[in-house]
Amino acid sequence: MDSQIKAFVFDVYGTLFDVTAVKEECEELYPGHGEAISQTWRSKQVEYFMLRQLMGNYETLYSITHDALKYALNENKLKSSKENEQHLLDAYLHLPLYQEVEKVLTALKHQKLVVFSNGSHDMLDPLIENAGLKDLMSEVLSIDEIKQFKPTPASYQYAVDKLNLKNEEVLFMSSNGWDVSGAKSFGFRTAWINRKNLPVEELDLEPDYIFSDLNGLLKWE
C-alpha cells in the first residue's frame, strides 16, 4: 500500500459510470441501431474534445456530447429531432454506476475522495447527485473552470492546485488509457481500471496499478 497517497481522484465516464448504458435509450428511439449509435457517439465525444483542445477551440463537454450525438445519427442515416436529441442527452445525467462503485467508495469514505472530469458542471453535478454520490465526495473538479481538457498537463496541474497536494500524493483512477497515460506523465500515481481487459498503451507510461474494477482499491480500506 502506498502511504504517500493523500487523495483518491476519480475520472467519471467509464470509470464510475457506465457510458455504454446509453445504448438502451438509443435502441428505444432507434430500434436496431442502439449499439451502433452509442459506439460512434462515445468515440466521437472523445475525438471532438481532443480535436478542440488541439485547435484551441473550446466548448463544454455537454456541447461536444451533443455534436457527437448528431454525428452518430447522421452516420447511421437516421432522422433526428430536438426532442430525441434532448432525450438522449438527458440519459447522460442518469448513467448507472458500475455495480461495485458505491460499495468501494463507501469503504474508502475515510479517505479524501475527489471527482476530476472533462465533464462540465452542468453534466457532472446532476449525474453525481442522481447517483447518490454527492456526500461521499470531498470535491467535484471540472476542467471547464480552466478550459483545458485532460490529458493536457495544465488540466492535471489544476487538480493539484485545487487539492493543494504534491503530484505524487495523488492516486488517479481512470478506465481510459489515454487519461491514465496523461496523469502518469504529469507525475500522479495512477491506477488503471481496465474494465475491458485491454493492453497497456504503448506510450512508455506504465500505470502504477492495474485493476479490473474498483475493488482493487479496497487494499486502502
CA–CA distance from 136 to each of 49, 108, 120, 177, 186 (Å)?
28, 9, 19, 25, 26
CA–CA distance from 102 to each of 78, 117, 120, 123, 186 (Å)?
37, 18, 22, 20, 28
CA atoms within 13 A on the CB side of 83: 1
Q: Annotated catalytic residue: which of 11, 67, 179, 204?
A: 11
- Burial label, 193 (beta-carbon count in 10 A; 0-12, 13-18, 19+): buried
Q: Which amino acid is at 65?
A: T
Place of cell 445504448: 23
Place of cell 504534491: 166
Question: For residue 130, what are the contacts with CB-CB under 8 A and spacing of at least 6?
Answer: 93, 94
Q: How far apart are the first and last CA of the chain?
A: 10
| Catalytic residue flag (residue 11) | yes
DSSP string, 139-173: EEEEGGGTT--TTSHHHHHHHHHHHT--GGGEEEE
Active site residues per annotation: 11
